[in-house]
Amino acid sequence: MNQGARLEGLTKQLGVPICIDEATAEWVGRSLSPSEGRVRRLARIRPKGMDVAINVFGLLPPEAVSPDVTNETITLHEKALDAVIAGNWDQARRTLEQMPSEDGPSRFLLDQMAQHENQPPAEWDGAFSLSSK
């Protein structure tokens, strides 16, 4: 199974319509203006069957078209994600709890941390290892 298929499978887990990899996110960031589309960093994961962790991003329409995901929401989620990756899960949880309850990527991070009893594992490398495709 290739990375594109794995990213497609992550859309349901992350609660977003489109997941993209880091290279695509960088290209979108260079190629589209904010009035054409936005990119949101969602999570750092190690998909089942892969040894390497990847940064997963979501592709979003402009805020004017999709006001349910504001630029402020994106910034707050990415702040929480930075804390997750760094192993500061208490800080991450406090930040994520400020997010709208229907925000799929934030729920995903909260659920992943809860599976580890809200403490990063001793061997934490900043990525959640997924057990299903």
Quick one: pLDDT at residue 94? 96
- Domain chopping of the chain, boundaries: 3-123
Quick one: pLDDT at residue 10? 86
What strand order describes the sheet that includes 19-20?
A: 19-20, 54-60, 38-46, 128-129
Quick one: pLDDT at residue 30? 94
Beta strands in the chain (DSSP E): 19-20, 38-46, 54-60, 128-129
Q: If you search the block for the tokens 């909260």, which residue do you land on?
A: 110
Quick one: pLDDT at residue 87? 97
Average pLDDT over residues 36-42: 95
pLDDT tens digits, 71-87: 999 999 999 999 999 99
Quick one: pLDDT at residue 132? 67
Average pLDDT over residues 39-43: 96
Average pLDDT over residues 103-110: 96
Crossing angle for the helix pair 71-86 and 89-96, to the nearest 10 degrees: 160
pLDDT at 118 over 80: yes
Quick one: pLDDT at residue 67? 84
